[in-house]
Amino acid sequence: MDRIKKQSAEKVFSDLGSHQIMILGDVMLDEYMWGNVSRISPEAPVPVVEIFEETTKLGGAGNVALNISALEDIPILVGVIGDDLGGEKLKTELARKKIHVEGIISDRTRKTTTKTRIIAQQQQVVRADKEDTEEISQNTQALILDYVRKKINGLKGIIISDYGKGVITSNLLTEVISLAKQKNIIIGVDPKETHFMNYKKVTVITPNHHEASFVAGKRIKDEKSLEEVGWRLLKDLETESLLITRGREGMSLFEKDNSITHFPTKAKKVFDVTGAGDTVISTFVSALASGATFKEASFLSNHAAGIAVGELGAAQVTKEQLYQEVKGFVE
């Protein structure tokens, strides 16, 4: 599918920006230290980086929230941080981006997930991570559920952004999916392999081809193996749709009505695939919330991803950028 009907596109874009979308998952802080190298350390055979600038960005579920905001919908971010400097920096960055922090729970027993990258002459020299990956406590899960219940009636969709850092537990997933199903709320999942079979009966799940292959126990190497993996996962998960992202091969959508639709890649250039999955799930759920079909949501997500990978770093695609990109593909 490489075209969208004019009436459908107009309806989706006119409705984008009027919905509350909850993002539940692993919130991260991305730190960047920019510098130059002019010498090697006398202490060890490593470069000495002279830092001239430090910047911070939202990562993980925070980047999904930025994508939702860029599409002009309202992100309701829910996650866990530590009672530490990283947590303070993260809340400051959220406030700067005008994303509410009332759904961010501070847990003094945990570290704020922080990835620090040192970059010299535009090349990453090293990355240092601070994180806790054990599951959050029962008390913290209860606080999250209380907040979800408080917000549930105003939501159009929920995105589960699972990076395997401990926030998304089996019990929490079960409760949140049940609540959303009762209220007929869209549930989109950007999955982690280790939790894959817990994402049952959601609206859409968007694994890349490596994740799908790993979970199905079969490598995707051609169209036949792709279909075997896709239909198996759709059946096992009892989900309404499954969108497998395939890099340069584009995307493939499997739906419970037994239809499969392929979307050729729209990337004109690829600088960085960082955060592309965040763009896909955000665009898909926002499009569904605005009345798109699964095929139309996939079409829009494919174009959004094509824009995102053409930028350096985790990029967010705005509603206007997406509109300008797809208007040449309207029939």
pLDDT at residue 142 is higher than 70: yes
DSSP 190-216: E--GGGGGG-TT-SEE--BHHHHHHHH
Residue type for position 27: V
Q: Tell me the C-alpha distance between 285 and 99, whole Å.
A: 18
> What mean pLDDT do residues 164-179 have?
94
Q: Give the pLDDT confidence score for residue 313 in this predicted structure.
A: 56
The continuous run of DSSP H or E covering 236 comes out as: helix 223-237
* Per-residue model confidence as pLDDT tens digits over 1-27: 777 888 888 888 988 888 999 999 999
> Is the CATH code 3.40.1190.20 the one for domain 6-27+58-112+131-329?
yes
The domain locations on the chain are 6-27+58-112+131-329
Q: Give the pLDDT confidence score for residue 270 in this predicted structure.
A: 47
**Binning pLDDT at 50, 70 and 90, where does residue 274 land?**
low
Q: Output the CA torsion sign for 189, 301, 64, 145.
A: negative
Give catalytic residue positions: 278
pLDDT at residue 308 is higher than 90: no
> CB within 8 A of 299, min separation 6: which ones?
1, 2, 4, 263, 326, 329
Structure tokens at 172: 């929490």
